[in-house]
Amino acid sequence: MTVKKLRKQSDSSDSGTEDFSDSTGPEGFRFVDISILASVFQSFWCPACRYGHVVLEEDKEKKMGFASLLVVRCKSHKCSYEKEFYTSETVVNGKAFEANRRAVLAARIIGIGHQGLVKFSMVMNMMPPMNKIPTRTMLEKLYSQRKVLPSKACKMQSRN
C-alpha cells in the first residue's frame, strides 16, 4: 500500500475498522511466475475479434528495472489486437516506477545495496534490476522526501 493510500485510509477511518466492500480487487505487489501467467492468458478469447486466443509476451528491451512491459496480443492472423502495460505504476510525473522505488528503499533499509538487488534477482530467476546510476538517483529522491515516508522507514534510513 502506498503512503498516499495509507494517509487516505487513516483520514477516512479513525474508528479502526476497515470497510472492504468497495474494494476494486487485489492490490499490491506479488512474485509471479510469468510462464504460469502466460499459460492462463492463452485460455482467454480476444476481446476484439472474439475468435482467436490471446498470448502474453514480454518486451524485454523496454524493461525498466523491476517493471516489465507486458503485451497481450491476439494469435489470430486476421486480428491486430494488442494491449501493452507495465507491471508497475509510475510515480513522480511518470519518470520512475513504484516497484523500483520500493526495491531501492527496501535494499537500503536492510543494508544490501545495488549488488544485493542484483544477487536477489539472480537467485529469484528474475530479470536484473535497474542500473546503479538510477538506483543512486532514486536514493537521492527518497532522502529528499523523507517527510512523506513512514516514520519507521525514515528512522532505519537515518541509521545507515
List pLDDT tens digits, range 133-154: 777 777 777 666 655 555 555 5
Confidence of residue 71 (pLDDT cuts 50, 70, 90): very high
Cell 475468435 sits at which residue?
A: 51
| Rounded Cα gap, residues 74 and 72, in angstroms | 7
Mean pLDDT taken over the chain: 80
Identify the three-state secondary structure at position 16. Answer: coil
| Rounded Cα gap, residues 7 and 11, in angstroms | 6
pLDDT digits (tens, 9 = 90+) for 87-145: 999 987 778 899 988 998 888 889 988 899 999 999 999 988 888 777 777 777 766 66
Confidence check: pLDDT of 76 > 70: yes
Considering the entire predicted model, what is its pTM?
Answer: 0.68
